Amino acid sequence: MSKYLQLWEAKKITPREGSIKAALAKREYQVLSKQTDRNRLDKAMNFLLSSDLLSALVKESQNRIAGEEATIESLHVWLAGRLVKNPLQLASYNLLVNSESGAGKDYVAKAVLKDYPEPSVIMKTKITPEVFTYWHTEKEWTWDGKVFYLEDVSTPILNSSVFKVMASGGSKATVIDKQRARDINIKGKPVMIITTATARPNKELSRRFPIISLDETHGQTRAIIDRQAKAAADGTMPEHNLIIREALSLLRQVNVKVVVAEEIAKYLPDKHLGIRTHAPRFFDLIKASAALHQFQRERDQKGYVLATWEDYDIARQCILRTVSSSNLVSLTRNQRKIIEIFEGSKDIKWWTLDTLTPKVLFISERQLRRELKKLAGDGFLVAQLGESSGPGRRPLEYCKAETYGLLLPSAEEIMAEMSTMTEMSTMTEMSINQELKEFGENRINDINDINDMDFNDKTSKNAHNVELKVTYEDIDTNTNETTKKRCYDGL
């Protein structure tokens, strides 16, 4: 570094001085800055081109988060939804992180979000139900391409009409302003990430917000304690990698095609109405993965990014983490705990509210009644009227229903099946062709046999006619008895 540049960076000389030294220092500084920016750009592009991009993002987040690989990966895929211009449904990129208070859900979500460019991420700890009606009403503003994060959302906010409409894809509201009605357009739809420990989303909102939970095992708690102890011993906290943030800022909104969508659709279950919401969400998550890997994916002539089977596998994992069974319903933390009581009991099959209440210490009896009704309605429990032990109504009894996990084959399994079907189709076609060939040859042989028979018959007739003719001529020329008999025998 030259002495002029050193003076420039130390702010001991400025362009205002008009000196040659200042001009030289400024020029050298600008050249070095461009080189530095170019180097950072190259590093950012190399990161986006890495073959294990999603794993690299997870690893970067784990510099500040102990474990939670599944949750971190899912968050990055959902956040990539901001890059998709053509989702099948706008509600596809909503996600609810639901775990017990103190589990670290807000810490995990914020640690992941801080890797993203600040202008595109809006984080709030509290809002009022009508905030989206008045927030960002300027003409040039749009929620498209943005991420909205709301920490520890309450039940009234979660189930408010404005919030539900916003979660579905923007809205148009009419408000009273200075005693006059005024229309307000809410433009665009952000990716919505919310966290809660106690809020209870109703059935309608549960369809819009799939639920993912943190790892609440003792092993994860130990990993967190060890990570915190290491940070305390080192006296430092890991910083965010600016190259990652710059790399993510280089990604642009794109249109995506899932060229294998029709093949994938064959493997999606159709027994539950919930698939009508989950199917487009699944395809949109495939698009989000492709948009995240946009510098690694091919494009068609119209510029559409073409999703691959790798994107299918990534989206498949995200769906399986948020859908609790083949019923295609997400379970909250409290609902999972209730189900675990049913699964862990070997002595009791049918439970009543009275027998369950002593076991369920994490919610009130009123909440338990509501959760049992919802679990029965979603197909996780079977309800029936029990025997009455005295005067009064018969109590409701519940037992665990036979439910199965959502079965979605991996890309490798689908391609193996497709390959087998192709081989079988090829073998069948070859077999048919061989049979047709053999049939054709036999047909030709049959025709040749017929022709031969016809030819022999004609030959025989011709010879017979010749014999008759000769005999007839002999009769004309010779009138003896022997010749006449021969003529008779020939006839």
Q: What is the pLDDT of residue 15?
A: 47
CB 116 within 8 A of CB 79: yes
Contact 113, 121 (CB under 8 A): yes
Give 84's pLDDT tier (boundaries 50, 70, 90). very high
Cβ density class 110-119: b for 16+ within 10 Å, e for less: ebbbebbeee
CA distances from 397 to 346, 376, 434 (A): 16, 11, 64
Residue 156: what residue type? P
Arithmetic mean of pLDDT over the chain? 76
Quick one: pLDDT band at residue 390, thresholds 50, 70, 90?
Answer: low
Amino acid type, 172 = K
Q: Return d(Cα 232, Cα 227) in angstroms, integer.
A: 9
The residues pairing with 58 across neighbouring beta strands, listed in sequence order, are none
Q: Mind listing the pLDDT tens digit for each residue in 320-365?
A: 888 765 556 667 778 878 888 888 877 778 888 888 888 888 788 8
Split at pLDDT 50, 70, 90, the class of 284 is very high
What is the average per-residue pLDDT within 159-164?
Answer: 75
Query: For position 17, what pLDDT does the model report?
Result: 47
Selection from 349, 348, 336, 350 nearest residue 395 by Cα: 350
Position 287 scores a pLDDT of 96
Q: How many separate helices (H) and strands (E) can be counted in the chain?
A: 19, 11
Q: How far, in Å, CA of 25 to CA of 11, rounded?
A: 10
Tell me the C-alpha distance between 233 and 156, whole Å. Answer: 43
pLDDT tens-digit readout, 103-144: 888 889 998 998 888 888 888 888 877 777 677 767 777 888
CB burial of residue 204 (10 Å; 0-12, 13-18, 19+): exposed
Supply φ then ψ for residue 49, to 5 degrees.
-95, 0
Strand order in the sheet with 94-98: 121-124, 147-150, 191-196, 94-98, 211-212
φ, ψ dihedrals at 176, nearest 5°? -95, 115
Element (H, E) at 231: helix 218-234
Three-state SS letters, 369-436:
HHHHHHHHHCCCEEEEECCCCCCCCCCEEEEECCCCCCCCCCHHHHHHHHHHHHHHHHHHHHHHHHHH
pLDDT at 457: 53
Q: Is 311 exposed, middle or buried (0-12, 13-18, 19+ CB in 10 A)?
A: buried
- 């016809």: which residue's tokens? 454
Higher-pLDDT residue of 450, 148: 148
Which helix (H) or strand (E) segment holds residue 483: the answer is helix 481-490
What sign does the CA torsion over 462, 463, 466, 471 have?
negative
Alpha carbon distance 170, 162 (integer Å) = 9
Sorted by sequence, the CB contacts under 8 Å of residue 407 that are 6+ apart come out as 269, 326
- The answer to whether residues 190 and 82 touch, using CB atoms and an 8 Å cutoff, is yes
Angle at 127 between CA 123 and CA 131, to 5 degrees: 105
CB 159 within 8 A of CB 201: yes
For residue 85, what pLDDT is reported?
A: 92
Tell me the mean pLDDT in the region 230-244: 82
Residue 471, pLDDT above cutoff 50: no
Say how far apart CA 197 and CA 96 lie, in whole Å.
10
